[in-house]
Amino acid sequence: MSVITAADTGALTWNGMAELVLQGGVLSREDAIRILEAPDEELLAILDAAYRVRREYFGQTVQLYYLKNAKSGLCPEDCNYCSQSKISDAPIERYAMLSAERLMDGARKAAESNARTYCIVASGRGPTNREVDHVAGVVRQIKEQYGLHICCCLGLLEPEQALKLKAAGVDRVNHNLNTSERFHPEICTTHTFRDRLQTLSICRDAGLELCAGMIVGMGEVNGDVADVALKLAELNVESIPINFLHAIDGTPLQSKHELNPRYCLKVLSMFRLTNPKAELRIAGGREVNLRSMQSLGLYPANSMFVSDYLTTPGQKAEEDFRMIADLGFQITAGDYDSAKLLELWKIPHAKACGSEAAGQCGCG
Ligand code: SF4
């Protein structure tokens, strides 16, 4: 069956794009760029088109992810955006792989905050075999005790390592593209875009689901953002985290502040319309870049992190639950609706909110 494209139908209104996508068509690169370049007056119509597609595949549900920085800093790579890289002077916590107890404690907090997925993230180019064995052992325990969906973000992986993670019960691996192939050399020289694609391919071959996204606002142009979205559609990834650069002092990108909330919403809408069935997650930089318009991001996106990021604190989980309840949306994991969760959170939050997670690791 041939795929319908916008060029075939001439469907160039925002709503026409939604129709096209709902009929199984794909957006052209030109249309993807047109969304990003649209005037702000068109924003509500663009969000409406993206929301139509989100509703079709995800209804009004929101999936929460809880992230644990299992190993922080000490990374030999030179990713310009990352506070954990060897070229960053950011004053972050630096520590080797956390003990099984600490990782289990993170799983407990994820379960308490009603997250569906617990993300175990480690800094570095890639894990040692010993680190993979350690994580695999902990994942077995987490599965037994909490039954959480597990996503691991450990950097570049070898085929045997991916198979080991799969055998331990890991559901998904996160490995972001971060930016387009064209722009990648501008933000990192110690590994290539092709290296990243290779890890995704190794994970797919091991039977793991894929989570891969980007960091917007590093100096790329709209064509780069569109290229990442179309590449992820081609790879058919299950999950797409969109980070909006939170420029961290001490990193080479510390003075990049190019984003505004309206543009961020157009980016999320474009990703929804190019990847209609993928989980689309508002990830790092949500609070500083979307600011008062955060809740609108959940019209195109259907997922977000709760609590902190890798090296930066997030908004309080209580405020996230309130935002979801105010939208009339439902959290998918666990037995509670968002209003009840808001009540329940007040008790464990006071003792459970340890801010250990931190920055925007491009492995994650
Ligand atoms: S993004 Fe990952 S690989 Fe790059 S510097 Fe940070 S921790 Fe290292």
User: Per-residue pLDDT tens for 49-98?
Assistant: 999 999 999 999 999 888 899 999 889 999 999 999 999 989 888 999 99
242 pLDDT band (50/70/90 cuts)? Answer: very high
240 pLDDT band (50/70/90 cuts)? Answer: very high
Q: From the alpha carbon of 86, which atom of ligand 1 is closest? A: 5
Distance in angstroms (rounded) separating the CA atoms of residues 70 and 62: 25
For ligand 1, mutation pick of 71, 83, 85 (most atoms within 8 Å of CB): 85
Tell whether ligand 1 has an atom less than 6 A from the beta carbon of residue 320: no
Cα of 62 vs centre of ligand 1, distance in Å, is 28
Q: How many Å separate Cα 150 from the centre of its chain? A: 14
207 pLDDT band (50/70/90 cuts)? Answer: very high
Least confident of 58-72, 122-136, 160-174, 265-279: 58-72
Structural domain contains residue 46: no
Cα of 155 vs centre of ligand 1, distance in Å, is 8
Cα of 144 vs centre of ligand 1, distance in Å, is 30
Tell whether ligand 1 has an atom less than 6 A from the beta carbon of residue 80: no
Given a cut of 60, whether residue 347 has pLDDT beyond it is no
Cα of 330 vs centre of ligand 1, distance in Å, is 34
Structural domain contains residue 35: no
Among left, alpha and beta (phi > 0; psi -120 to 50; other), residue 178 is: left
Judge whether 239 and 20 are in contact, CB under 8 Å: no
Distance in angstroms (rounded) separating the CA atoms of residues 42 and 162: 44
When pLDDT is averaged across residues 258-282 and rounded to a whole number, the result is: 97
> 287: domain CATH number?
3.20.20.70
Given a cut of 60, whether residue 7 has pLDDT beyond it is no
Nearest to 221 by CA among 196, 246, 186, 255: 186
Nearest to 322 by CA among 301, 347, 294, 350: 294
> Any bridge partners for residue 117, and if so which?
65, 149
Q: From the alpha carbon of 75, which atom of ligand 1 is closest? A: 8
Query: Domain span at residue 253?
Result: 61-352
Q: Is the dihedral of CA 103, 104, 110, 112 positive or negative?
A: negative
Structural domain contains residue 360: no
| DSSP letter assigned to residue 125 | S
Given a cut of 60, whether residue 311 has pLDDT beyond it is no
Structural domain contains residue 14: no
Given a cut of 60, whether residue 235 has pLDDT beyond it is yes
Distance in angstroms (rounded) separating the CA atoms of residues 188 and 220: 13
> Any bridge partners for residue 281, and if so which?
241, 303
Structural domain contains residue 363: no
114 pLDDT band (50/70/90 cuts)? Answer: confident
Distance in angstroms (rounded) separating the CA atoms of residues 357 and 72: 9
Cα of 362 vs centre of ligand 1, distance in Å, is 6
What are the backbone dihedrals phi and psi of residue 281, each rounded to the nearest 5 degrees, phi first?
A: -115, 135
Given a cut of 90, whether residue 230 has pLDDT beyond it is yes
Q: Which residues of 25-58 are buried (b: 16+ CB within 10 A; e: fewer)?
A: bbbbeebbbbbbebeeebbeebbebbbbbbeeeb
Largest Cα span, the chain:
57
Other residues' Cβ atoms within 10 Å of the Cβ of residue 1: 4
When pLDDT is averaged across residues 338-349 and rounded to a whole number, the result is: 48
Q: In the chain, what percentage of residues exceed pLDDT 90? A: 76
At 165-184, the pLDDT tens digits run: 999 999 999 999 999 999 99
Given a cut of 70, whether residue 284 has pLDDT beyond it is yes
Rounded to two decimals, the pTM is: 0.88
Q: How many Å separate Cα 103 from the centre of its chain? A: 20
Q: What is the mean pLDDT of the chain?
A: 88
Given a cut of 90, whether residue 343 has pLDDT beyond it is no
Q: What does the pLDDT read at residue 128? A: 96
Count of domains in the chain? 1
